[in-house]
C-alpha cells in the first residue's frame, strides 16, 4: 500500500489533486480526501476494488460509476463518508487570472485541505512536483504522478474531475456555442472557432493565450 510509508506518528492522512489547469474556460476544481490511519487499509482496499486510479485514464461514465459505488454524491466544501471525509473547492477564472494557473491550483488544494481541519496530526500527499505552503500543516509531500501511485490521490482526482465535468455541462446551457458539455472548456477546434465567432464569456480565463486576444473593453 503506497500510503503506508507516510503514516508514522500521524492520526490522519490527506490526499489532494486538481483538475482543469489546461482549459480556456471554467474553474480549476480541487479535492482533498481525509482518512484516519485506522481506516486507511480498509479504504484503500475498497478503492482498489472499484477501480480507482488516475482520472485521466478513466471515462466520465466509469468515474460516475465508481463514485456511485462508493456513495459519493455531493461536491461541497465539506462532505462526510463512512470511511473518509472530502472537500471540493472551485477556483474561479477571475482568481486564476489574478494568481496564475499554477498558484491557483495550489491555492485550491490548500483550501480543500484546510476545509478538513487538518493540523500537525495530519500528513498531506499532494499530486505533482510542488507542495503548497501552510502554517497549519507540517508534513506535506509532493508526489509525482501521485494519482497513479496513490489510491487516495486517485479518488481526489476522480471526485474533482466528475464535479468539474458536471459543472461545465451546466455552463454549456448558459453558453451553448462553445461545446463545453463535450470539451469541458479545453481548447478544441470547436471551442476556438466559437471564441472567434461569438467572443468570450464571463467564465473564460482572460490571461490565457487564445482568450486574451479577444478581450475588449466591454468584457474586460
Q: What is the pLDDT of residue 136?
A: 85
Q: What is the pLDDT of residue 36?
A: 96
Q: What is the pLDDT of residue 95?
A: 99
DSSP letters for 129-147 = S-PPP-SS-SEEEEETTHH
Residue spans of alpha helices (H) in the chain? 37-49, 60-70, 93-99, 101-115, 146-149, 151-174, 180-183, 189-198
Q: What is the pLDDT along the chain (220 residues), one digit of tens a residue?
A: 899 999 888 999 999 999 999 999 999 999 999 999 999 999 999 999 999 998 999 999 999 999 999 999 999 999 999 999 999 999 999 999 999 999 999 999 999 999 998 777 899 999 999 999 998 888 999 999 999 999 999 999 999 999 999 999 999 999 999 999 999 999 999 999 999 999 999 999 999 999 999 998 657 6
DSSP state of 100: -
Q: What is the pLDDT of residue 220?
A: 64
CB 133 within 8 A of CB 141: no
- Give, rounded to a whole angstrom, the gap between the first and last alpha carbons of the chain: 49
pTM of the full predicted structure? 0.96
Break the chain into its structural domains and give their ranges: 2-166
Q: What is the pLDDT of residue 138?
A: 84
CA distance to 29, 103, 116, 168, per residue, from 92 (Å):
9, 13, 21, 12
Q: What is the pLDDT of residue 135?
A: 87
Q: What is the pLDDT of residue 93?
A: 98
Question: Architecture of domain 2-166 in CATH?
Answer: 2-Layer Sandwich (3.30)
Amino acid at each position: 500500500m503506497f500510503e503506508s510509508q507516510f503514516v508514522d506518528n500521524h492520526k490522519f492522512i490527506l490526499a489532494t489533486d486538481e483538475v482543469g489547469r489546461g482549459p480556456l474556460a471554467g474553474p480549476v476544481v480541487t479535492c482533498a480526501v481525509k482518512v484516519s490511519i485506522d481506516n486507511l487499509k480498509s479504504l484503500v482496499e475498497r478503492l482498489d476494488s472499484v477501480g480507482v486510479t488516475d482520472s485521466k485514464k478513466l471515462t466520465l461514465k466509469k468515474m460516475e460509476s465508481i463514485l456511485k459505488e462508493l456513495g459519493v454524491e455531493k461536491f461541497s466544501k465539506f462532505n462526510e463518508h463512512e470511511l473518509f471525509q472530502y472537500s471540493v473547492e472551485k477556483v474561479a477564472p477571475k482568481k486564476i487570472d489574478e494568481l496564475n494557473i499554477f498558484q491557483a491550483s495550489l491555492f485550491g488544494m490548500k483550501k480543500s485541505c484546510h476545509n478538513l481541519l487538518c493540523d500537525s496530526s495530519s500528513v498531506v500527499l499532494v499530486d505533482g512536483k510542488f507542495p503548497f505552503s501552510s502554517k497549519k500543516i507540517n508534513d506535506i509531500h509532493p508526489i509525482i504522478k501521485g494519482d497513479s501511485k496513490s489510491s487516495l490521490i486517485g479518488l481526489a482526482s476522480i471526485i474533482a474531475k466528475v464535479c468539474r465535468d458536471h459543472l461545465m455541462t451546466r455552463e454549456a446551457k448558459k453558453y451553448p456555442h462553445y461545446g463545453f458539455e463535450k470539451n469541458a472548456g479545453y481548447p478544441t477546434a470547436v471551442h476556438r472557432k466559437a471564441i472567434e465567432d461569438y467572443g468570450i464569456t464571463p467564465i473564460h480565463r482572460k490571461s490565457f493565450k487564445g482568450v486574451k486576444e479577444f478581450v475588449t473593453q466591454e468584457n474586460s
